[in-house]
């Protein structure tokens, strides 16, 4: 990886850009292989979601995530490079792809600006193998052609492109210059997501009815009593059909407004489908040699009044069933990370994490990352966590395959990014929906342990469905 001190701001002319690209082509000729070239430029404040909406094409990959409470948002669109993998080695194979690309990359611009440089946007499905009919590969990594991100009131635009020995430099230079001009003078206002006069009409088809889910919970608790596993997370899916084509980015705008403490996200393939949601659960975050993860398990609703909300939260903190479920998740994370020789730091007792419609038991976990341990190494150990799979993992996953009657795809998958310095963040694909034209498939699940009651678990999934429906289909 070559990082150049060239300042894009002081070299903002077509002639300077053309000369730089010619230098990159000389390097490609010397190396006898194409080079990834990434140019970062700090720009005036932009809304990355509005930028993505302005260049949105349904047949192009895109990635978006925003956490309004942290003033963080990042968007990437179109594809310069991509890689797919499947099977138990998919994380290692994706890391090898990233390493290979970076070994032949030329990076320009101030790398001290948040989100500067090329980013590798990734999505891992829940299971490491899926049928050929599913819409997302078990592992996908792509480098976008255009990337815009904001963090801590700073905005950076990134252009990524490949330069080979036979690349037409003038064509590439024109594309980059047009993009630079657009980002420099971009005006979007709120009209990009202006409210509609009415919500779309929706028809619903449940893939598994309430009674089906009650029966599934009873089956799971019987298998827990038989000691097949200690915990299993069972999900439901609901198909909704609107009377108009749904815009995944408009729906995402509603989710980011409704759930500012969550990861509002959209991952699109290149066939017209988008997987979107507002996930409350961080899987891992790695920056500057430090790693953060969390145990998030055990749930109850929010109260109608402050007093009721507090009472529900206190009851959750005392709930034997929820505390056992939470401890199973925490113990599994500790056990799975032990081979990496990490020194984990966490509190003895969980705290409450209050979201717009639900509150969870939450334990934050922090550690330093030893030299040689990368983010994808950690994710390979953790995913899927007991918060979305079960304990023991393999027995619970077998149980999910047998009991659930729909493919999970990216639901409860690991979604996030890695940058050129090995930093990155991943979250779990929860509170989510698959958007395909006028169709939306919503997902919601609940953790089942000894003592779980079918009616209560059904109510928890209904609560999660309602939150997604309100975010997706509001005017």
Q: Per the structure block, which two tokens stand in for 419?
A: 């940058």
The C-alpha atoms of residue 35 and residue 29 are separated, in whole angstroms, by: 10
> Nearest-CA neighbor of 354 among 262, 427, 464?
262
Catalytic center residues: 231, 281
Q: Are 141 and 122 a contacting pair, CB within 8 Å?
A: yes
Say how many C-beta atoms besides its own lie within 10 A of residue 290's C-beta: 12
The C-alpha atoms of residue 470 and residue 255 are separated, in whole angstroms, by: 9
The C-alpha atoms of residue 377 and residue 337 are separated, in whole angstroms, by: 10
Q: CA–CA distance from 253 to each of 49, 109, 259, 400 (Å)?
A: 8, 30, 10, 32
Q: Could you tell me how many residues make up the chain?
A: 475
Q: Are 297 and 387 a contacting pair, CB within 8 Å?
A: yes
DSSP secondary structure of 103-160: TTEEEES-TTSTT-S-EEEEEE-SSS---TTSSS-SEEEEE-SEEEEEETTEEEEEEE
For 380, counting Cβ atoms within 10 Å of its Cβ (0-12 exposed, 13-18 middle, 19+ buried), the class is: buried
Chain centre distance of CA 386: 18
Say how many C-beta atoms besides its own lie within 10 A of residue 166's C-beta: 9
Crossing angle of helices 48-55 and 248-258, in 10° steps, is: 170
For 304, counting Cβ atoms within 10 Å of its Cβ (0-12 exposed, 13-18 middle, 19+ buried), the class is: exposed
- Token match 């969870």: residue? 360
DSSP state of 44: S
- Token match 């998958």: residue? 413
User: Which residues, 6+ apart, have CB-to-CB distance to 177 below 8 Å?
Assistant: 14, 17
The C-alpha atoms of residue 81 and residue 122 are separated, in whole angstroms, by: 12
Q: Are 285 and 448 a contacting pair, CB within 8 Å?
A: no
> Nearest-CA neighbor of 276 among 291, 262, 261?
262
């Amino acid at each position: 990886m070559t990082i150049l001190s060239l300042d894009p701001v002081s070299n903002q002319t077509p002639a300077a850009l053309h000369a730089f690209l010619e230098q990159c082509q000389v390097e490609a000729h010397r190396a006898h292989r194409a080079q990834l070239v990434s140019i970062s430029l700090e720009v005036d404040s932009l809304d990355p979601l509005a930028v993505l909406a302005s260049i949105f094409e349904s047949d192009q990959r895109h990635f978006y995530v925003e956490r309004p409470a942290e003033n963080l948002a990042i968007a990437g669109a179109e594809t310069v490079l991509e890689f797919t993998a499947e099977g138990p080695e998919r994380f290692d194979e994706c890391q090898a792809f990233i390493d290979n690309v970076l070994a032949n990359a030329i990076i320009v611009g101030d790398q001290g600006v948040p989100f500067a440089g090329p980013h590798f946007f990734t999505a891992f499905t829940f299971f490491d193998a899926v049928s050929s009919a599913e819409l997302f590969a078990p592992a996908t990594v792509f480098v976008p052609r255009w990337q815009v991100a904001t963090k801590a009131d700073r905005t950076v635009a990134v252009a990524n492109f490949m330069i080979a020995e036979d690349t037409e430099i003038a064509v590439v230079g024109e594309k980059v210059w047009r993009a630079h001009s657009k980002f420099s003078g971009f005006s979007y206002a709120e009209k990009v997501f202006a409210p509609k006069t009415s919500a779309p009409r929706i028809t619903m088809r449940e893939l598994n009815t309430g009674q089906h889910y009650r029966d599934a919970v009873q089956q799971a608790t019987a298998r827990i009593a038989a000691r097949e596993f200690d915990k299993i997370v069972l999900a439901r899916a609901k198909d909704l059909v609107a009377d108009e084509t749904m815009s995944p980015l408009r729906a995402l705008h509603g989710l980011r407004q409704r759930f500012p403490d969550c990861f509002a996200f959209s991952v699109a393939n290149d066939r017209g489908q988008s997987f979107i949601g507002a996930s409350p659960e961080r899987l891992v975050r790695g920056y500057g040699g430090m790693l953060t993860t969390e145990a998030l398990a055990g749930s109850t609703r929010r109260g109608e009044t402050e007093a009721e909300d507090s009472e529900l939260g206190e009851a959750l903190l005392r709930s034997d069933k929820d505390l056992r479920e939470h401890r199973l998740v925490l113990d599994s994370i500790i056990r799975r990370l032990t081979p990496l020789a990490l020194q984990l730091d966490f509190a003895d007792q969980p705290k409450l994490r209050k979201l717009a419609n639900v509150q969870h038991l939450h334990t934050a976990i922090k550690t330093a990352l030893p030299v040689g341990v990368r983010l994808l190494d950690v994710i390979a150990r953790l995913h899927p966590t007991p918060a979305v799979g079960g304990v023991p993992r393999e027995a619970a996953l077998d149980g999910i395959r047998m009991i659930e009657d729909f493919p999970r795809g990216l639901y409860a998958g690991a979604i996030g990014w890695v940058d050129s310095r090995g930093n990155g963040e991943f979250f779990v694909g929860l509170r989510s929906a698959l958007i395909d034209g006028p169709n939306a498939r919503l997902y919601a699940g609940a953790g089942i342990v000894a003592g779980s009651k079918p009616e209560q678990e059904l109510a928890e999934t209904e609560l999660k469905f309602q939150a997604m429906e309100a975010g997706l289909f509001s005017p």
